[in-house]
Structures are given as C-alpha cells and as structure tokens.
C-alpha cells in the first residue's frame, strides 16, 4: 500500500504486525500517534523500550518481573510448599486476582504442543524439577489450560513428578459459575459429570 508517505506506511506496517491489530486499526493508530503531542510519543516509546529492557524472568518461578526474584517468591508470608504451575504470567495474574491462593507459582511460558512443535524442552520444566529437588514442596497444583495442549502438559508433568513422591493435583474442570448448561460444549458437560462431588 503506497497510499501514504513512507513514514506513515512503515508505521502502519509495524503496528499491523502486532497481534490483534488489523490493517484498519493500524491505520487509525498510526494517524493517532502522528497527531499525539511529541512528549507523549516519547513517553510511549520509552515505556516500550524500558519494559523490554528491564523485565526479566524471576529466578525462582520464571514469571516476568522487574526484579531478580518476583514479589510473590520474595514474600515470606506465602506458602512456599505449594506450587501452582501455570502456562503464562497472565494466568498467574488471573489466580492472583482471586486473592485466595496463598501458595507460590511456577510459570512454564507455554504448553507442550506436538502440532506447533513445542516439546517438553521448550517450556520451563527443567526449572520446575530443579525447584522440586532443592526446595521443600508438599504439593504441585497443575493449572495449565483445559485445552489439548494444557491437558497434555498436565499429564506430562504428573508423570515427571510422581516418582519423586510429591503430591500432584489438577484444578477441576467443569461448568463455569453462572454458565448456562445449554450453551456449554459437550466435553465440558462430560467433565463436569465425571468430576461431580457429593453434597
């Protein structure tokens, strides 16, 4: 598309290459940015660079953090004997939002997917096993997604950990709270049935 000037075209292309931003949104964003005050543009680019430069993986749980060790791992009030394994930092944040989980986390940064060529070596499993060998852990709660990849990863982790004698659990899958049965897929309905508990 050579409708705009070189700088505008390059900006539109660059923005359109980001996930979830289509061609039209990229155009709208580009013109918005060009009309933004210069200091706001400077702030935007600085925030982007700073985040990219200064965010690291926590040395313990591998989540993304500004520090060597993330605030959760550094918090002595948390239960360090319970580790919840999640696929990414957004999932960690989702559980933190509940405010009820007292344990710590381990972030895999992905899930095993033979389809996408992601093997066990591509996610942070070595780090998890190292923690189990060096820390005193009572339970590993596998909270990977309830997708094919998430389930495969959960199975793999359980097989890996079982020989160590540490308890491995999986979060329940079933009907979401407030979910209307008629709109829920069959697999979820069957899962909910299998996972039924006594009242």
Supply the minimum distance, in Å, between the C-beta of residue 160 and its own copies: 25
Supply the minimum distance, in Å, between the C-beta of residue 67 and its own copies: 7
Supply the minimum distance, in Å, between the C-beta of residue 146 and its own copies: 19
Decide if residue 148 touches its own copies (CB under 8 A): no
The one segment of 25-33, 100-108, 148-156, 165-173 that binds its own copies by CB under 8 A: 25-33
Give the residue with the Cβ less far from its own copies, 47 or 164: 47
Contacts of its own copies in 27-46 (CB under 8 A): 27-34, 36, 38, 41-45
Alpha carbons 50 and 44: distance in angstroms, whole number: 10
Supply the minimum distance, in Å, between the C-beta of residue 39 and its own copies: 10
Contacts of its own copies in 52-111 (CB under 8 A): 52-55, 64-67, 70-71, 88-90, 93, 96-97
Supply the minimum distance, in Å, between the C-beta of residue 181 and its own copies: 26
Alpha carbons 82 and 136: distance in angstroms, whole number: 9
Q: CB-based burial of residue 25 (10 Å sphere; 0-12 exposed, 13-18 middle, 19+ buried)?
A: middle
Sequential DSSP letters for 136-195: --SEEEE---SSHHHHHHHHHHHHHHGGGT-EEEE---SPPTT--GGGS-HHHHHHHHHT
Alpha carbons 112 and 108: distance in angstroms, whole number: 10
Among 11, 104, 137, 143, binds its own copies (CB under 8 A): 11
Sequential DSSP letters for 19-37: TT--HHHHHHHHHHHHTS-
Q: How many amino acids of this chain bind its own copies (CB under 8 A)? A: 50
Give the residue with the Cβ less far from its own copies, 58 or 157: 58
Supply the minimum distance, in Å, between the C-beta of residue 137 and its own copies: 24
Question: Please, are residues 89 and 107 in contact by the beta-carbon 8 Å criterion?
Answer: yes
Residue 84: strand pairing partners: 105, 141
DSSP structural state of residue 61: T
Residues forming the site for its own copies (CB under 8 A): 3-8, 10-11, 14, 18-21, 25, 27-34, 36, 38, 41-45, 47-55, 64-67, 70-71, 88-90, 93, 96-97
């Amino acid at each position: 598309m050579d409708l705009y000037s070189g700088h505008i075209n390059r900006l539109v292309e660059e923005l359109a290459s980001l996930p979830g931003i289509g061609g039209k949104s990229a155009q709208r964003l580009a013109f918005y940015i060009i009309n933004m005050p210069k200091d706001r543009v400077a702030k935007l680019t600085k925030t982007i660079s700073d985040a990219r430069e200064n965010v690291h993986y926590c040395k313990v749980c591998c989540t993304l953090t500004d520090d060597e060790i993330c605030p959760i791992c550094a918090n002595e009030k948390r239960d360090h004997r319970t580790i919840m394994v999640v696929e990414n930092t957004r999932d960690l944040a989702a559980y933190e939002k509940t405010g009820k989980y007292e344990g710590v986390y381990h972030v895999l940064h992905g899930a095993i997917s033979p389809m996408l060529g992601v093997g066990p070596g591509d996610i942070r499993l070595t780090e998890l096993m190292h923690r189990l060998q060096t820390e005193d852990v009572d339970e590993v709660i596998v909270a990977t997604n309830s997708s094919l990849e998430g389930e495969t990863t959960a199975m793999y982790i359980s097989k890996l950990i079982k020989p160590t004698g540490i308890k491995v659990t999986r979060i329940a899958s079933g009907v979401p709270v407030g979910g209307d049965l008629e709109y829920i897929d069959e697999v979820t309905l069957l899962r909910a049935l299998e996972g039924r508990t006594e009242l």
